[in-house]
Chain A
Amino acid sequence: MDLSYTNEELAFQNEVRTFLSEKLPTAMSEKVRLGKGLSKDDIEEWHSILNERGWLAQNWPSEFGGAEWDAVQRHIFEEESSLANAPRIVPFGLAMLAPVLQKFGSQEQCDYWLPRILSGEDWWCQGYSEPGAGSDLASLKTRAVREGDHYIVNGQKTWTTLGQHANMIFCLVRTNTEVKNQEGISFLLIDMDTPGIEVRPIILLDGTHEVNEVWFTDVKVPVENLVGEEDKGWTYAKYLLTHERANIAGVGSSNAGLEAVKRMAKAEMACGKPLAENPHFAARVAQVEIDLMAMSLSNLRIISKAAKGGAPGLEASMLKISGTVIRQEINDLARRAAGMYALPFASEAVEGSNQPELGPEHSRPVAEQYFNNRKISIFGGSNEVQREIIAKTTLGRMQ
């Protein structure tokens, strides 16, 4: 056993650091540091900076223009990016759809769609969840009926992240109602400009607009936009979900969050002394840091296994749980640290809320982030679903 990076990995880490310090625009990292929302332009700009360096498609094979990084390299990049307050790469096209196309799509589909993902010509969003199909995703009802060279799609998707920016959506649709839920699902690529598609914003409890409802009424989709075979979409969806779980532990963002809490605790005063010196608060911070240190090592163990070609199984579910619990605990500490100045709420939904921002800069996003990050234990397979996977796999099917 050796817990340190190899020389090659250290060199790579250096390369990433240099790149970030030279290429990450300060205005952008400031927005990330202060927890401000990023615009579509910001995200596209960062994607194009990464693409120029060949680092946008990190896990793609080189034949498609990917960097072909292994799990350790991806981890190093993620860690350094978080510490430098770089925006996160929007994963829908790059990390979710692309691997599915590369494994199950036709040559034509790969040749057409993959370069457009890299160039930013297409912004993809994910059409999975429906109002009645959350944890039980396979019960989805959005219907696609074949008519000649087209599918006619009717139904509703929800929680579509950044769908307001997207021009393309990949969707799970039901093409067969005669078979078991999982066996009648297909994977379709749909142009958001097609008549019959309506995107409605959902404002989250922290006042942000990051998710949407997407409604389909008699939407015509060319059959060549079917990925793989009809009715086999569930297999592809599951394959995609294993990619959704890459970087599931969020070690980088937890580290950055904990550092932010520590900085706050040095600046905030309690009983005439820095909050950091309050034994009670210090103990809370230490407790989370201890959990995070252990989780980071768990994460590295899995990454190292994955880099050697092993497939993460239950460990991914375990990391999803500990990673989200720790992240939410850090959000809670930040909220506490801010004291009274956690109270202001600058929502875009509240009229006339371009009031002066009150309190120190560091306290402004904390309540919003606390509430917004309640989502991380819900999406991508809720923590209850993950526990079920762990328990069922371990106990087997008991009668």
Chain B
Amino acid sequence: MNFELTEERQMLQDTLRRFLRDRYDVPTRNAILESESGMSSDIWNQIAELGVLGALFTEEDGGFGGKGFDIAVVFEELGRAGVVEPILETCILGGGLIAALGNETQKALLESIIGGETRLALAHGEPRARYDLNRVETRCDAGKLNGHKSMSLGAPNAEHIIISARESGAVDDNDGISLFLVPASALDLRSTPMMGGGMAADIWLEDLSVADDMRLGPKGAALPYLESAYAAAITATCAQTLGAMETATRLTTEYLQTRKQFGRPIGTFQALAHRLADMLVELEQARSAVIGVAGYLEADPKLRDKHVSMAKNLMGRIGRQIAEESIQMHGGIAMTQEFELAHIAKRIIMADHFFGDVDHHLERFIGLSAA
């Protein structure tokens, strides 16, 4: 057993942490949040130049990592700094699916993803599907897509969007779902900024023609690949939330040490000190959950998914505690938009709405645990 990072991953962590500390400070991030695109191309290019995007792909796909622990290391740092650029959407979901399913032409995109030239998004969710991966009402019949995709994360800044559609079966059949790689310019996107930063879009498909060579992977058999991509995305989200929780805890610790009321630092009040201690206890639980899901990401899907749902449920619960307690112990100052904690707390809470919330993963875990 060994819980140490490899030397390469340690270096990656140090580099990325230093870069974000220097170049992604709070005023920079606030300016990005208020910009129309909700992201910085400048930051994107620099992150690509550092090799961070390459760390999210295996060697055979042109990267130098791509394992669960690579994902965890990168996203923990991104979360610590509250980074809102669509790296998860591009590399883990979009890039991950192309790496797993793409033909040679499609795989050629990976190089430009790793180089920072191309961004991707996945449009799988639908208004009535909630968090179920198998529920797809969007149809592909005779080469035409019809349906409504909801909250496609990162879509407004993507050049290509992977769209799921059903080619056969009932709306909740496991079989029959296909993926199509479509240029974003061909799509009717309605974009919105998100509460925790970043952008998403709803996409309406009306008789959108897709050629056979736009299909990504085998016809009607996308579900297991979507499950794998979501497992990796949940790993990334959990690591990101862990990083954000570390920041929230650090800010709260500093505040309890420096904020004075009644003539003394408020951290000397036991009622607050013990709550900080509870936050630290839970933070260690969260760290273990992230290590667990990262470590089993390449395992057999049954074992993997048990850890996936365990981690996502736990991060949702602990995230709520840490975000809410951090705000409460800061008082009014944490309620202000420009204060660092506000953004961090929003990212922690809103992560519960990505890829299945606390309740969804509790129910999924019950099924996996009983099996």
Contact = CB atoms under 8 A, between A and B. Distances in A.
Interface in B311-354: 320, 324, 327-328, 331-332, 334-338, 342-343, 345-346, 349-350, 352-353
Contacts of B285: none
A339 B128 CA distance: 10
A83 B362 CA distance: 34
B130 A350 contact: no
Given A272-B172, A340-B125, A384 B272 contact: yes
B151 interface: yes
A384 B127 CA distance: 41
A350 B335 contact: no
A371 B328 CA distance: 11
Interface stretch (B29-37, B92-100, B221-229, B249-257): B29-37
A357 B194 CA distance: 12
Contacts of A378: 327-328, 331-332, 335
Interface stretch (A134-142, A248-256, A289-297): A134-142
B135 interface: yes
A367 interface: yes
Contact of A367 (B328, B343, B350): B350
Interface in B153-192: 171-172, 190-192
Contacts of A343: 151, 192, 194-196, 200, 350, 353
B357 A336 contact: yes
Contacts of A339: 130-131, 353, 357
Contacts of A10: none
A349 B353 contact: no
A213 to B, nearest CB: 10
B328 A377 contact: yes
Contacts of A383: 328
Given A207-B337, A272-B135, A134 B34 contact: no
User: For chain B, what secondary structure do more than half of its interface residues adopt (helix, strand, loop), or is it mixed?
Assistant: mixed
A345 B327 contact: no
B271 interface: yes
Nearest to A135: B261
A270 B363 CA distance: 12
B273 to A, nearest CB: 12
B122 to A, nearest CB: 13
A158 interface: yes
Interface stretch (A23-31, A55-63, A111-119, A198-206): A198-206
B228 to A, nearest CB: 21
B34 A349 contact: yes
A339 B363 CA distance: 15
A359 interface: yes
A159 B130 CA distance: 38
B202 interface: yes
B117 interface: no
B34 A350 contact: yes
Given A135-B261, A136-B262, A384-B271, A281 B195 contact: no
A134 B172 contact: no
A374 to B, nearest CB: 5
Contacts, number: 157
A377 B334 CA distance: 13
Interface string A358-374: 11100000011011001
Which of B332, B337, B345 is packed against the most chain A CB atoms within 10 Å?
B332
A336 B358 CA distance: 9
A45 to B, nearest CB: 28
A268 B130 CA distance: 8
B335 A358 contact: no
B58 to A, nearest CB: 30
A375 B331 CA distance: 8
Contacts of A158: 332
Nearest to B269: A384
Contacts of A370: 349
A347 interface: yes
26 contacts: A203-B336, A203-B338, A204-B336, A205-B335, A271-B130, A335-B349, A336-B352, A340-B125, A341-B150, A341-B151, A342-B195, A343-B194, A343-B196, A345-B196, A347-B193, A349-B34, A351-B36, A353-B192, A356-B192, A358-B192, A371-B195, A374-B328, A374-B334, A378-B327, A378-B331, A378-B332
Interface of B: 33-36, 38, 125, 127-128, 130-132, 135, 150-151, 171-172, 190-196, 200, 202, 260-263, 269, 271-272, 320, 324, 327-328, 331-332, 334-338, 342-343, 345-346, 349-350, 352-353, 357-359, 362-363
